[in-house]
Homo-oligomer: A and B are copies of this chain.
Amino acid sequence: MTTAETRERLYLFDTTLRDGAQTSGIDFSVNEKIVVAELLDRLGVDYVEGGYPGANPTDTEFFETKRTQKARFTAFGMTKRAGRSAANDPGLQQILAADTDACCFVAKAWDYHVKVALGCTNEENLEGIAETVKSAIAAGREAMLDCEHFFDGYRANPEYALACAKTAYDAGARWVVLCDTNGGMLPDDIREIVSEVIKVVPGDHLGIHTHDDTGHAVANSLAAVDTGVRQIQGTLNGIGERCGNANMISLIPTLLLKSAYSERFEIGVTTQKLSEITSISHAFDEIINRSPDRHAPYVGETAFATKAGIHASAILKDPATYEHVTPESVGNRRRVLVSDQAGKSNLLGELNRLGIDVAKTDSRLDRLLAEVKQREAEGYAYEAADASFELLARRTLGEVPNFFDVKSFRVMVERRFNAMGELTTMSEAVVKLDIDGESRMSVAEGNGPVNALDKALRKDLGKYQLAIDGLELVDYKVRILNGGTEAVTRVLIESHDKASHRRWFTIGVSSNIVDASFQALVDSINFALMTAKVG
């Protein structure tokens, strides 16, 4: 048994917010970047690469302040241009001006691209690498270099590719990252080429950056580690250009649970955090508004599911011999039969986390479990809607007063030519509710049906009005479950309270999108009132 002291440190470098942002269809807002950086920081990766300051307004704003506590906050950018000094390269200076711990520069390592894409000489490119790395170090940053097209470049001109890597290392780069930019390498290629590189740059200064174009991004990363590399670059859920980058969510469990790695290496992610990786993966999918991959390794809904068949009864006898790791270790669960025992202790854990103290034998716990299961079967996803979950839990435990009753609502959206001959769209909502037996009816216009309903709902809440004054809807996400005529709509609403700076998520599910939205709005207001302890 190897102890922590004798294990080597393996570093995780997350590029979800930089290379992951190259995924078609994904455009992070500044706020989403902040949320993802916090998520990664809590997960325990060593580096969070946040983007390319100066390249676009989003990244420039995101880099105005350091966004991580523990992880090294990293800016990405190009090495300085040929023909000017580092001090006179405005692009480079913008990267150095960002509030970061580290800078990751990208340089061409394939001589063909140096000529065609940069239009400079091989020597100028090497000089750019050296000067850029030195200027980052002089600015107090940890410097690293992504060697773009490293493997293809090595095949074409091994001496030059190695010279790029060695130049960065000699200039003081903490990490020299070997990138399979086109994603075409297989594990044997990685092993063969890395074992040559390691002769000129030590493995504990080498990183690996892979893409999944042949389905080998994870295997290639591990092949590099096997050959001596000590930093892995990857993204949450493997997002990234084309077929994606190496999937951190697949790599981390393998590194922590498979003895070939866990006995040799130590990483920054704890086994405690590992038990949250399923919900982290799903939370990230919610942020990018994508349905979780049901078949994803470790975290997929069916990753520990067995279709009743020749295995099912044997699995119940001794699940361990049918599972390569325990579902609990990655925060997932076994799915074999309709009635499973998994839920109760998970639920207790969640309640404890919320500060709700309830005994394991309390019958209300069974009622809550049944309710959650029933609702999740209908399409609710409480892992993404903490406020709706807390509300449901406290209600079932009898702690939440009935602040108000909605009697009915009506919303109309009309698009037509107005008196001036212009096409306009109007949304109007009417909400009828009772507070303490007194009926109230409000009408409001909005820039859409949900906004109109939100305004009408909050227009006259009587004695509660003050408690929801600072409340605002900051995000709204819609997903169609199933599809076809049986489609069910799931709405997630993110609310923010300007007074307390709290954010919370609520959920609604219905075949009608307006209905689902209204449920989530009502949950949000009830949550605000519950936490304000009014009534």
Contacts and interface: CB of A to CB of B under 8 A. Distances in A.
A518 B78 CA distance: 43
A479 B289 contact: yes
A83 interface: no
Nearest to A406: B415
A509 interface: no
A214 B324 CA distance: 9
A215 B218 contact: yes
Contacts of A415: 408-410, 514-515, 518
Interface string A447-462: 1111000000000000
Contacts of A449: 413, 449, 512-514
10 contacts: A23-B295, A24-B383, A25-B294, A29-B483, A182-B324, A216-B218, A238-B295, A242-B295, A242-B300, A409-B414
A524 to B, nearest CB: 15
B512 A305 contact: no
Nearest to A149: B321
- Main secondary structure, interface of A, reads mixed
Interface in A183-210: 183-189
A214 to B, nearest CB: 5
A213 B297 contact: yes
A483 B474 contact: yes
Interface stretch (A43-51, A63-71, A109-117, A352-360): A109-117
A260 B416 contact: no
Interface stretch (A306-314, A364-372, A525-533): A306-314
A317 interface: yes
Contacts of A25: 294, 381, 383-384
A25 B31 CA distance: 36
A346 interface: no
A302 B480 CA distance: 22
A476 interface: yes
B476 A321 contact: no
Given A214-B258, A427-B512, A448-B514, 8 more contacts: A110-B321, A112-B321, A215-B250, A289-B477, A408-B416, A410-B414, A411-B414, A474-B483
B307 A24 contact: yes
Nearest to A180: B324
Contact of A186 (B24, B260, B323, B417): B260
Nearest to A414: B410
Given A476-B480, A483-B31, A219 B295 contact: no
A400 B227 CA distance: 58
B243 A116 contact: no
B484 A472 contact: yes
**Which among A250, A305, A414, A483 has the highest number of chain B CB atoms within 10 Å?**
A483
A291 B250 CA distance: 22
Contacts of A219: 187, 215-216, 218-219
A107 interface: no
Interface in A267-297: 289, 294-297
Nearest to A449: B514
A345 interface: no
Contacts of A135: none
Given A241-B306, A305-B242, A318 B186 contact: no
B474 A321 contact: no
Interface string A162-184: 00000000000000000001111
Contact of A215 (B183, B247, B381): B247
B323 A182 contact: yes
A222 B189 CA distance: 13
Given A297-B243, A412-B410, A325 B184 contact: yes
Contact of A483 (B183, B226, B475): B475
B302 A24 contact: yes
A443 to B, nearest CB: 14
A335 to B, nearest CB: 8
A512 B425 contact: yes
A478 interface: yes
Interface string A228-247: 00000000001001111001
A212 interface: yes
A80 B202 CA distance: 57
A174 B250 CA distance: 36
A243 B113 contact: no
B511 A295 contact: no
A510 interface: yes
Nearest to A335: B24
A435 interface: no
Contacts of A425: 510, 512, 514-515
